[in-house]
Homo-oligomer: A and B are copies of this chain.
Amino acid sequence: MLPTLLRTARYPVRAARSLTRSTARALSVPVRNPLHASWTDEDKTFFQQLLKPENVLTAADDTEAYTVDWLKKYRAKGSHQMVLKPKNTSHVAAILKYCNDRNLPVVPQGGNTGLVGGSVPVFDEIVLSMSSMNNVIAFDDVSGILTCEAGCILENLDNYAATFGYMMPLDLGAKGTCQIGGNVATNAGGLRLLRYGSLHGTVLGIEAVLADGTVYDGLSTMRKDNTGYDLKQLFIGSEGTLGVVTKVSILMPPRSLCKNVTLLACTDFEACQKAFVEAKKKLGEVLSAVEFMDRQSLDMVLSQQDWTKDPLETPSPFYVLIETSGSNSDHDMEKLEAYLEDVMGSGVVVDGTVAQDEAQAQKLFMLREDISMSLSSRGYVYKYDISLPMDQYYQIVEEVREKMAPLGAEVVGFGHMGDCNLHLNISTLDYDEKVFSALEPYVFEWTSKYRGSISSEHGIGTHKPSYLHLSKSNSSINLMKRMKSMMDPKGILNPYKVLPVSEKNGAVLL
């Protein structure tokens, strides 16, 4: 009963539909690690025997989807590509043992929906696609604990959970394609983090294969397990550089029975902060999302999406989108009304609308969710996913906008305000080196000055290893490097990602 439900096809990523322009920017690529081998026909034969020939892809047409990211921004160099599709943990273990012995580098890949180039090869690293490991292993409907293989698609798991009255504790735009193993490996955030916390708290157990093929069995299904070091945490957010996640157990919250969505307008950012603080107080336990967008973000959506219209009569410079979810719709609505009375009465909020049904709620939320897609439709996007203290959260948008004005670039600020997570996006019709140079490292350095995070939820991938020091102390980076050297001494796992690499030989800088 359990497994079949999850064996569905890959969903298309929503945001990819309208990606009309390929990107022109030449990414700075590190030098290939000379200690790494390239796969040979002999290696291919070994993998074909292990996995059956149909699960070893080498033809360009077959490997294309695995060797470029969905934004078409990161593409493996060269045509010597291989994709392996293991069906179980033993396959993964055998592959990694073989690759480690042979010095063959490997890129673990889930749904390939990342935004920082973490899931595609830089050169000819072998792609280890987890898509065929997509079985639910167990579900306990008393505790709400699910155990499954890494390749299960997030939305499928959420639908499965729904049949038992539970839900996945995370929700992303890419849910129809992204896989739970990739979510865990990249510590995916998303919309539900405000309410249910990060994967560091909700993931209870992990099975992972280490670089040398050893299977690390940390697949606890206990909510509380204080027996020694919590090593599974190492695999959450390390982007496949310390091990390949093969199985996951995760705690699911009960599914909410009702939802409300309200879009509120504010005249300044300080009022947005007040609206947020009041929401925490007045909406308390039913508050499930506090999203933010500036007028420029909304204008971007209105200009790019046919179905949209201005949701409020008068334009305002700032919008806060609040979602409640709970178990009693009357109670939730009463709380929401009390909240609205308070923030509108005090002038914190100057205008607003409450969705009257599910369809309206979805429409309001899509105004926020479609910002990213609208930016992609318009042209080239320079995306920055940062965390900042509340005092600086919008200040950076204003400063960047001022800096971009002479260059003709549009600047929008939106994000998961409830988690201090800002998506600062800059839009030009085509890629512009001058714009890029004005943004990097400026944005990262600015963020660093206020002890923010240069990657709030997207990770480091190949985009930001050289900026890692702006968010992590030297002592942190040193310890990361020691960890990497200990767990993957040959550097075969997802090379050139996360940690700064040497420009000379592509190995982790020690």
Contacts and interface: CB of A to CB of B under 8 A. Distances in A.
A468 B285 CA distance: 38
A4 interface: no
Total copies of this chain within the assembly: 2
Contact of A387 (B225, B416, B452, B454): B225
B283 A327 contact: yes
Interface residues of A, number: 91
Interface of A: 140-144, 165, 186-187, 189, 193, 197-198, 200-202, 210, 214-218, 220-231, 233-234, 236-238, 242, 254, 256-257, 273, 276-277, 280-286, 326-328, 331, 334-335, 387-390, 416, 419-421, 451-460, 464, 468, 471-473, 475-477, 479-480, 482-483, 486, 498-499
Contact of A224 (B140, B216, B238, B421): B421
A224 to B, nearest CB: 4
A206 to B, nearest CB: 10
Contacts of A387: 222-225
Contact of A460 (B198, B227, B276, B457): B227
B231 A458 contact: no
A197 to B, nearest CB: 4
A236 B228 contact: no
11 contacts: A193-B224, A200-B201, A221-B389, A222-B388, A225-B453, A225-B456, A227-B453, A228-B499, A231-B479, A254-B284, A284-B326
Given A230-B234, A256-B284, 15 more contacts: A142-B276, A142-B277, A144-B280, A165-B281, A187-B230, A193-B223, A197-B202, A217-B475, A220-B451, A224-B421, A225-B453, A226-B458, A229-B237, A256-B285, A285-B285
Nearest to A331: B331
Nearest to A194: B223
A92 B263 CA distance: 50
Greatest chain B CB density within 10 A among A187, A197, A228, A254 is at: A228
Nearest to A169: B197
